[in-house]
Amino acid sequence: MRDPGLARALAAEFIGSAWLLAVVVGSGIMGERLSAGNTALALLANAIATGCALLVLIVIFAPLSGAHFNPAVSAAFWSRGELPVRRLLAYAPAQLLGALVGVAIAHGMFELPIVQASQHGRSGGAQWLGEFVATAGLVLTILGSIAARPAWTPLLVAGYITAAYWFTSSTSFANPAVTIARSFTDSFAGIAPGDVAGFIVAQMFGAAAAAWLGGWLWPSTENSMKS
């Protein structure tokens, strides 16, 4: 690849997405095994592990790629004129491939079949509304923190996702790549393949709504210069 900056950015998005999914799925498996059937305890373990991992991943990879790990977030930045279309089209496959690898790594660590199809149903209007809210909140958290307290962005995103695991009906997937990858694990974190499309549609609508609202609340530098 001729552009070393893009190469490093894609590596960051791939590694970060893989790492994130290894944490999401691995902590879900561990939490379920140790909670003796207490779903609330398993979800708490899953949420805390995911939030802590996000804090680490955003801090170390943001200088390389922005630490999106999420096609919906990348699309929101593109819509604001802050991410070239070339990077958007390159980021999404790296994020998805990394997420799939992360699921496989989690399965390997816990001696489970590497490739699975989830049987965990997650469908219906309440779940889709949960994903709309989760994704819109994530994008607004990112845009707002960058505008107000950039150094706090990793902590604020981690805190939001930890909270969203609990206050949304869907437990906050908020990420199309994560959603697809989690359909390949028949574990605590899984989602049935047939329910993936509904989640992704809700996520993209949530991201679009938040990008529009965020563009009004916190205009990008480029848009501010035009006004």
Percent of the chain with pLDDT over 90: 94
- Domains of the chain, start order: 4-217 (1.20.1080.10)
**Tens of pLDDT, residues 96-132:** 999 999 999 999 999 999 999 999 999 999 999 999 9
pLDDT (average), residues 9-19: 98
pLDDT (average), residues 17-44: 97
Is the CB of residue 183 less than 8 Å from the CB of residue 147?
no
Q: What is the pLDDT of residue 227?
A: 28
pTM: 0.94
Percent of the chain with pLDDT over 70: 95
Q: For residue 25, how many other CB atoms are within 10 A of its CB?
A: 30
**Tens of pLDDT, residues 66-102:** 999 999 999 999 999 999 999 999 999 999 999 999 9
pLDDT (average), residues 6-25: 98
**Tens of pLDDT, residues 134-154:** 999 999 999 999 999 999 999
